[in-house]
Amino acid sequence: MSILLYEEHGDEGEVAVLENNSLAEFVRIGGETHVKAESIYLAKVGRAMQNLEAVFVSLTPAQEGFLPLREWRSDAKLIPGQGVLLQVKRPPIGGKAAHMTGDIALTGRFVVYLPLGKRDRVSRRIASKEERAGLIQKARELPRSEGAFIMRGESIHADLQAIAEEAAALTDTWRRVQEGAAGVSAPRLIKDAPHPVVRLMRDLRMQPEKIITNVPKSLPSMGVPVSEAGAPMLLYNIREKLRRSLRRKVLLKSGASLMIDPCEAMTVIDVNSSQNVKKAGQGDAALQVNLEAAAEIARLLRLRGVGGIVLIDFIDVDSDDKREMVLSALKAALQNDRVKTVVHGFTKLGLVEMTRTRSDEKLEAERGVCPACGGAGIIIHEKEPSIDA
């Protein structure tokens, strides 16, 4: 069972997703910028940066965007003062201008509509050649007067009518964007970003059965029952669940634990056995702990927003069959991750190597650096110098 919690206070909010009573997603929204990812602007072309092969554009009188020329996607020359339709690829962060693109993408649950696209494509998450070929055939049957579609992973299990209805809605959105930009002066916001809850639900593999929020009237209709609660995060003890999930040492129900160490090059996870496993040896007990750890690791990678290379040191097991069972359990647990993950298998050193696509949604901001050790996690023992008498 999946439940989505949304709590809003002023222009800031929090979204949490519980799957089988475990915290699977937590996202903070708002508060830092009014320029949001996926928004579409009629931007005003500004100064060119020849050394960076980019131009700055005005999004509002007070907000600039940064457009690399490779993102322009047109042979037309950019002229200072000209108004051009651009989409926010990444919002402004840490004083940096918003990253803009001319390759506009309108995203739905089943498809992404590319108004300027030349050919239909399939999500890279779908590896099967047969499934890819079938989805390309579906894409060719979708209504459009221009552009192309990217078939998303969820389109595999959707019928053509549902996909076609979404495709028609997205092409209609593009028509309204063009109409909204006609005859108006730049800079101007033409299409705001989707509501954060809509964005999250669009990407979730397991759709929530209900939504609980303190502001039901602020949510658009999404076809899911909505109920009201004054403090949804408190009601489901999200703060405590988050605190336990962000520790370096995460305890498992069996008594075993995970040690999670993020560093510059990769994230390393060590599975530590419980006393029961040590007494029982490296047989079925070790396998059961590894299977439990695989499910929890998949949840934590997703919740924390870990990206890049991940190395996992599972407890040693005594056969190749058991190692394959561990890999299968990890892959199965990662199926609900809305970010692409690839499990590469065991290395020669017996570590599981995997990768997870980096995303902007990280929970590192929820953890502070210890002011005493500066995050080193060690104490230098000072010895008094010996004094010869």
| Cα 43 to Cα 75, 88, 293, 366, distances in angstroms | 18, 11, 49, 34
Instruction: Verify that 89 and 177 share a domain, yes or no.
Output: no
pLDDT at 366 over 60: no
CB-based contacts of 151, cutoff 8 Å, min separation 6: 110, 111, 120, 121, 122, 123, 126, 135, 136, 138, 139
Is residue 388 in some structural domain? no
Instruction: Verify that 290 and 352 share a domain, yes or no.
Output: yes
The pLDDT-based confidence of 372 (bands split at 50, 70, 90) is low
Is residue 215 in some structural domain? yes
Instruction: Verify that 264 and 339 share a domain, yes or no.
Output: yes
pLDDT at 38 over 70: yes
pLDDT tens digits for 169-213?
999 999 999 999 998 999 999 999 998 899 889 989 888 999 999
Strands 83-90 and 63-68 turn out to be unpaired
pLDDT at 378 over 80: no
Instruction: Verify that 269 and 357 share a domain, yes or no.
Output: yes
The pLDDT-based confidence of 386 (bands split at 50, 70, 90) is low
pLDDT at 385 over 70: no
Instruction: Verify that 58 and 152 share a domain, yes or no.
Output: no
Is residue 379 in some structural domain? no
Is residue 20 in some structural domain? yes
- Given 52, 82, 101, the domain boundary residue is 101
Q: Quick one: pLDDT at residue 376?
A: 59
pLDDT at 276 over 60: no
Region 104-132: mean pLDDT is 94
pLDDT at 368 over 70: no
Q: Quick one: pLDDT at residue 342?
A: 94
Residue 112: domain span: 106-191
Q: Quick one: pLDDT at residue 94?
A: 72
Q: Quick one: pLDDT at residue 182?
A: 94
Is residue 382 in some structural domain? no
Region 283-303: mean pLDDT is 93
- Given 173, 191, 209, the domain boundary residue is 191
Region 40-45: mean pLDDT is 96
Quick one: what percent of the chain has pLDDT higher than 90?
Answer: 67
Cα-to-chain-centroid distance, residue 84:
28
Instruction: Verify that 361 and 329 share a domain, yes or no.
Output: yes
Residue 139 DSSP SS3: helix
Is residue 221 in some structural domain? yes
Amino acid at site 183:
G
Closest CA to 204 of 152, 166, 247, 243: 152
Instruction: Verify that 253 and 327 share a domain, yes or no.
Output: yes
Q: Quick one: pLDDT at residue 102?
A: 95
The pLDDT-based confidence of 32 (bands split at 50, 70, 90) is low
Q: Is 272 exposed, middle or buried (0-12, 13-18, 19+ CB in 10 A)?
A: middle
Q: In CATH, what number is assigned to the domain containing residue 208?
A: 3.30.420.40
pLDDT at 279 over 60: no
Higher-scoring residue by pLDDT: 277, 84: 84
Region 241-255: mean pLDDT is 94
Instruction: Verify that 208 and 233 share a domain, yes or no.
Output: yes
pLDDT tens digits for 51-67?
888 999 999 988 999 99
Q: Quick one: pLDDT at residue 130?
A: 94
Is residue 375 in some structural domain? no
Domain tally, the chain: 4
Lowest mean pLDDT: which of 220-229, 239-248, 380-389? 380-389
At residue 346, φ and ψ (nearest 5 deg) are -80, 140
- Given 57, 86, 101, the domain boundary residue is 101
pTM over 0.85: no
Instruction: Verify that 51 and 160 share a domain, yes or no.
Output: no
Instruction: Verify that 118 and 94 share a domain, yes or no.
Output: no
Instruction: Verify that 347 and 256 share a domain, yes or no.
Output: yes
Q: Quick one: pLDDT at residue 321?
A: 95
Is residue 286 in some structural domain? yes
- Please state, rounded to an integer, the average pLDDT across all residues of the chain: 89
pLDDT tens digits for 139-162?
999 999 999 999 999 999 899 999
Instruction: Verify that 86 and 122 share a domain, yes or no.
Output: no
Q: Quick one: pLDDT at residue 15?
A: 94
pLDDT at 280 over 50: no
Q: Quick one: pLDDT at residue 389?
A: 46
Quick one: what percent of the chain has pLDDT higher than 70?
Answer: 89
Q: In CATH, what number is assigned to the domain containing residue 323?
A: 3.40.630
The conformation of residue 386, written as its DSSP 8-state character, comes to: P
Inter-residue contact 35 to 63 (CB < 8 Å): yes
pLDDT at 347 over 90: yes
Region 368-386: mean pLDDT is 59
Region 220-242: mean pLDDT is 93
Q: Quick one: pLDDT at residue 221?
A: 84
Q: Quick one: pLDDT at residue 1?
A: 87
Closest CA to 6 of 32, 35, 26: 26
